[in-house]
Amino acid sequence: MAHESGDTIRIICVDEGRELARQVVAIYGEDTISVSYERSLEEVGDRFEMEAFDLMLFSSSVAHRQQDDALEILELICAKCPSTPILFFAHPGKLKLAHQALRVGVLHYSLLPVSDEELKLLIETALKRKPQLGLNLLLRSEVEKTTFESMIGQSTVMHQVYRQIRQAAATDIPVLLSGETGTGKELAALAIHELSTRSSAPYVPVHIGSLPTDLVASELFGHERGAFSGATSQRKGCFEVADGGTVFMDEIATIDEKMQVSLLRLLETSQYCRIGSQAAIPVDVRIIAASNADLPAEIRKGAFREDLYYRLDVLHIIMPPLRERHGDIHLLVDHFIKSACDAFKKYVRGMSPAFVSSLESYPWPGNVRELKNVLQRAVISCTGEILEIEQLPVRISRYRNEDVKITIRVGTTIEEMEKEMIIRTLEYTSHNRTRASEILGISRRSLYNKMQRFGIYRSK
């Protein structure tokens, strides 16, 4: 029995006694596998926060007094460590618990005692069905990797964005998306369209900043044959193509005064004219605009019309920069590494502490787009199975363990402040409770008690 990557197979046995662990070693021998042993439910999560395993054997003996806790641990490992299949072994009278374990995601169960032949068959079947690639999210994150449409993130600020997107999708009003470059404004616009009643109609993105100034009008409104030199045929513009659907206008601040007037007219009358024609064309489109520029500042400079701004700014969604999305970076890192491994046929098992520290400390001025590009290059250049700091650009690798500040408003009670500190620290550590308790200077048990008192749940 050999592992795909050539490494020794790592198995953890969770059992009050050592019977299962001894039986596995007797079957395979110590040279073929590495067997770890754990008898405490509380310590199982800690082990997965520190190590990766190819298989877990879980005995009902550790659950006879803590069935809910046992099921919670099993559900957690199934959700966060999909590359670690779980085999559940039930003692007589624990068949109901075995069925509950199946429902939370364990691969298979068997009754104890189990013969050597059956145990070997179960182990080898589980390892064959083991995913070829999968990072242990508990090594860096205990936050469930959630997606909202195509967006990834579970931080407080991103949940606020998701709420606003749902609000926007429920109406038909113009939306203005603002935020730094690379924060995901186009993903937010697409999510609004796909969640709206217009989802079956066209979604047409227009990146205005990338268009030559003299082609913007033709791109948006279309033109008639002969309208200008080179116009050899009639052409439909984006608004006509998207009739009934949505037009996403990125970098809206770059359009000139004449185009601003034409866009304002369309917003006011739901009509427009092709270039070279005086005939008004009715259109039913929803406009979502985006800008990384400060539009109020552009208005003060006279570069952007105030009346157009207020027409677009009916619902304003601010996309937060990555440095403010505490806890999300780990989810994004896992996602981009897996995507890069799939795209470039690479195998990456994890990241070195120095690599992770630099990713956490770097301010990411290019936001999610920059993170994605950096991780793609790191995967391509990685010659082993662990991403090392040498695979990072110098501008990122020089960042280590810089302070993250939390602002507490005047008037906050001590209890509110303590709850906020715990929430923000958990977000910062991606809900790694061991790291969070170390930062807060309290024991893990004290952290659990405070989380329970404040209604901060460990898993979702």
- CATH code for the domain of 29: 3.40.50.2300
pLDDT at 340: 93
Question: For residue 403, what pLDDT band results from cuts at 50, 70 and 90?
Answer: low
Same domain? 97 vs 14: yes
Distance between CA atoms of residues 55 and 58, nearest Å: 10
- Is the residue at 380 inside a domain? yes
Q: Is the pLDDT of residue 147 over 70?
A: no
Looking at 319, 342, 360, the residue that finishes a domain is 319
Same domain? 106 vs 208: no
Same domain? 354 vs 260: no
List the CATH number of the domain containing 442: 1.10.10.60
Q: Is the pLDDT of residue 212 over 90?
A: no
Q: Which residues contact 415 (CB under 8 A, 6 or more apart)?
A: none
Q: Is the pLDDT of residue 3 over 70?
A: no
Question: For residue 405, what pLDDT band results from cuts at 50, 70 and 90?
Answer: low
- Is the residue at 148 inside a domain? no
Same domain? 228 vs 199: yes
- Is the residue at 19 inside a domain? yes
Please state the rounded mean pLDDT for residues 35-56.
85
List the CATH number of the domain containing 257: 3.40.50.300
Same domain? 103 vs 19: yes
Please state the rounded mean pLDDT for residues 412-431.
81
Q: Which residue matches tokens 């008004």?
A: 280
Same domain? 223 vs 252: yes
Please state the rounded mean pLDDT for residues 226-237.
81
Same domain? 212 vs 311: yes
pLDDT at 139: 53
pLDDT at 409: 75
- Is the residue at 407 inside a domain? no
When divided into structural domains, the chain yields a total of 4
Same domain? 309 vs 160: yes
**Window from 54-58, 176-180, 333-337 with minimum mean pLDDT:** 333-337
> Which phi and psi angles does 86 have, rounded to 5°?
-120, 130
Helix (H, G, I), strand (E, B) or coil at 339: helix
Same domain? 209 vs 264: yes
Same domain? 380 vs 267: no
pLDDT at 193: 95
- Is the residue at 409 inside a domain? no
Please state the rounded mean pLDDT for residues 37-55.
84
pTM: predicted TM-score of the whole model, two decimal places: 0.59
Can you give the C-alpha Rg of the chain in angstroms? Answer: 28
Please state the rounded mean pLDDT for residues 65-81.
82
Most confident of 29-33, 250-254, 449-453: 250-254
Q: Which residue matches tokens 């009670």?
A: 413
Looking at 319, 345, 371, the residue that finishes a domain is 319
- Per-residue pLDDT reduced to its tens digit, 426-445: 877 767 777 777 778 887 77
Same domain? 342 vs 314: no
Please state the rounded mean pLDDT for residues 73-99.
86
Looking at 257, 287, 319, the residue that finishes a domain is 319
**Window from 94-108, 205-219, 385-399, 403-417 with minimum mean pLDDT:** 403-417
Contact criterion met (CB below 8 Å) for 9 and 54: yes
- Per-residue pLDDT reduced to its tens digit, 254-306: 999 999 999 999 999 999 998 888 888 999 999 999 999 999 999 999 999 99
Same domain? 116 vs 242: no
Q: Which residues contact 149 (CB under 8 A, 6 or more apart)?
A: 165, 187, 190, 191, 194, 195
- Is the residue at 144 inside a domain? no
**Window from 103-117, 360-374, 396-410, 446-460 with minimum mean pLDDT:** 396-410
**In terms of residue numbers, what domain contains 17?**
9-139
